[in-house]
Structure 1
Amino acid sequence: MTIKSEISKELSYRLKIINVIMIILVIFIHSYRTEIKYEGEIIGLVVPKFLEILKRIISRRISISAVPLFFLISSFLLFSKEIDFRKNLVKKSKTLLIPYLFWNTFWIILYFIAQNISFTKSFFSNPNTIIRNFGTRDFLYAYIGNLSAGSSEPFLFTLWFIRDLMILNIFCLLIKKIIDKYALFVLVGSFCFWFFDINFYIVTATSLLFFVLGYFIVKYNLQIEMIDNIKYRYIIPVYIFAVAFSMLNHPVISNIFYKATVIIGICFFIKLSRNIYLNNKFREFFLKLDYATLFL
């Protein structure tokens, strides 16, 4: 069964706007630091309590919808047209594999150089990342993750989502076929893996669920207007409520609302993209920023 979903000019622009917002949020995610590691020493960062709470809200709650939304949009765009497996692999090799290999290799070389300069050595001397001690297996793990140790992160760990996206693209036709045959089973199963943080390490539960959801949007022709029609007076209070309860110390309650924060945040940013799109100045500003997001 071939499923196609028309992407209007408005939707195309809104996806670019969302892309810019998510990139900014990812920057906030990786700007969250609580300590600085030196060679043989760890220095904790002390900040005012209100600033710590604000930092946690932005970087560990509001921003957490970014990566799931990336997987959702990538999957939607992939499945919204008929998939030519060979052409898709060639395209993804250029847009994902080559940048992945380049930046991961660049980072390994950077670490090696920094570890051999006295002035910078102490900043790059984590015992687990001493490049001169790497064997063949260590270099392999640096690119695919140490699956035997339960880690799917490459050497440059921030690229884990590109790694997952490449794997999901390789198996996209199989995923589509399984969903077409066992839609409810796959939806419930992938949601449970995500909710209970059960990872296979081949890909994370987060990437799997939202990649699956991207195909569901196409398969059942779900329209973005479903989210646009939600009133801000409803979504904002619920969003604030979910964020607040996700920060409680109770592990069960905080996890439930943490997951809710991801879902509600996705809806909020999708809805926000329409308001930005309808404002000419904001739209042009975000569309210009979109050209710089790949480098960021």
Structure 2
Amino acid sequence: MLSNEASLRLKILRFPLIVGVVFIHNYDLSSTLHGSSIGFAHAGALLDFVRNIVSQGIARVSVPLLFLISGYLFFLDFQPTIQSLAGKLKSRSRTLLIPFIFWNVATLTVIALAQSVPAASKFLSGKTTPVSHLNGEALLDLIFGIHGVPISYQFWFIRDLMVLVLLSPLVYVLCRRLGAPLLLALLGLWLANIWWVAVPASDATLFFMIGAWLAIKGMTPFCVDRIGSLATIVYIPLLLFDAVRFGSAGDLVVHKVSILLGVVSVLWMTRYAIRSDDLKNHLVRLSGTSFFVFAAHEPLLTICRKISFKWVPLHSSYVAVGFYFLIPAFVIALLASLHPRMSVRFPRFTALACGGR
């Protein structure tokens, strides 16, 4: 069983991790409208450093942590029986599969409508085939991401998570029999950027299995607390170093080691976050909006970016940095305030779209 403190620490992580996901998707400050590029194509040193440290640095711990927590919660109190597995799969079909289909179909519908309305179509890139010209196989590919990412691209996370859930009996056996040596091997493959399958991705597999192993062994993700302070001391300068060198030759291992240390640091910092009643209560309240913000932030983020870039010229790095923070802040605040109102006015619809969250 999870202690009250550990449960609280996991809960307050949900919203900040989704904020991190939004900022990952906000990295590019240029867009395309019917073949024409708008925005801030030439970033400049200031914007490069800011977005590297935020989108490619701090925010990059979000996806590994979300997979780790998902693996941990799936295998928490897991019993190797048909009944236990069936119960887990039934629960995940409601929380993962139904929202996955809902949001991808909704995104496909929005794009199809935008393509058919001249006033809206001018905000599209003009590079994609009209939805009305696609056959059934192509539509299914866009919805489920069979040969790439789904049409609502952030849902690659849910797709990979569903695959790992289906592979959970194998994950359970491997974690029980091979344990730490297997995780070290997966860690080595991830650091070396070696992987043989598209789905699930290497980071999804590694961190989901770390979470599964912790649960199976009766530990919590917060067992890293004893090395948290040391990890943070190393993480901060490595984060700055990675931000300066991001994208350069030989930086990949440094980048991934930085992410790994960031995961440990963030888990450790939650022990202090729960000591502030105001911060704790605010994050607990916002945790309920996390999935909705995740699901709806795209294509809204892209739409807001294109509208902003069309009407406001980015003539300096300072303006670009301002837009870099203001656009996602607006999207996050809008969706976080919209979700509770939808839950009151349209409870069944909101529950369906958010998997009962």
TM over 0.5, shorter chain: yes
- Residue deviations 1:72-123 (CA, integer Å, cap 9, x gap): 0111111121241111111111111111111100000000000011111132
Asked if 2 retains the 8 angstrom alpha-carbon contact of 1:246 and 1:255, the reply is no
SS in 1 for 2:213: helix
Instruction: State how far apart, in whole Å, the 1-side matches of 2:289 and 2:222 are.
Output: 28
Count of residue pairs the alignment pairs up = 285
Partner AA of 1:164 in structure 2: D
> Quick one: which of 278, 281, 295 aligns to 2:275?
278
Deviation digits for residues 217-266 of structure 1 (CA, Å, limit 9, x no counterpart): 1233445554323364x3333112222332425422x1111111111111
CA-based RMSD: 2.0
Written as runs of structure 1 = structure 2, the 5 A alignment for 1:100-111 is: 100-111=100-111
1:294, CA displacement in angstroms? Answer: 2.1
Once the 2 structures are TM-superposed, how far is the Cα of residue 35 of structure 1 from its aligned partner?
A: 1.4
- In structure 1, the residue matched to 2:340 is none
Q: Does 1:28 align with 2:23?
A: yes
In structure 1, the partner of 2:124 is 124
In structure 2, stretches of 5+ residues that fail to align are: 294-357
Superposition map of 1:1-296 within 5 A: 6-45=1-40, 46-47=42-43, 49-83=45-79, 84-147=84-147, 151=148, 153-184=149-180, 186-197=182-193, 198-224=195-221, 226-230=223-227, 232=229, 234-247=230-243, 248=245, 250-252=248-250, 254-296=251-293
Q: 1:87 to 1:32 in 2, by over 3 A?
A: same
Q: Cα deviation per residue 1:186-240 (whole Å; 9 max; x = unaligned)?
A: 32442233223325112111100001111221233445554323364x3333112
In structure 1, stretches of 5+ residues that fail to align are 1-5
Query: Relative to structure 2, which stretch is displaced further, 106-115 or 285-294?
Result: 285-294
Determine the C-alpha separation between the residues in 1 that align with 2:146 and 2:291: 27
SS at match of 1:127: coil
Amino acid at match of 2:23: F
Q: Tell me which moved more, 69-78 or 172-181.
A: 172-181
Q: Percent identity?
A: 26
**Stretch deviating more after TM superposition (178-187 or 273-282):** 178-187
Deviation per CA, 1:164-193, whole angstroms, max 9, x where unpaired?
Answer: 111111111111113323335532442233
| Cα distance change, pair 12–184 in 1 and its aligned pair in 2 (3 A) | closer
TM-score of the aligned structures, taking structure 2 as reference length? 0.74
TM-score, scaled to structure 1? 0.89
AA partner of residue 195 (structure 1): L
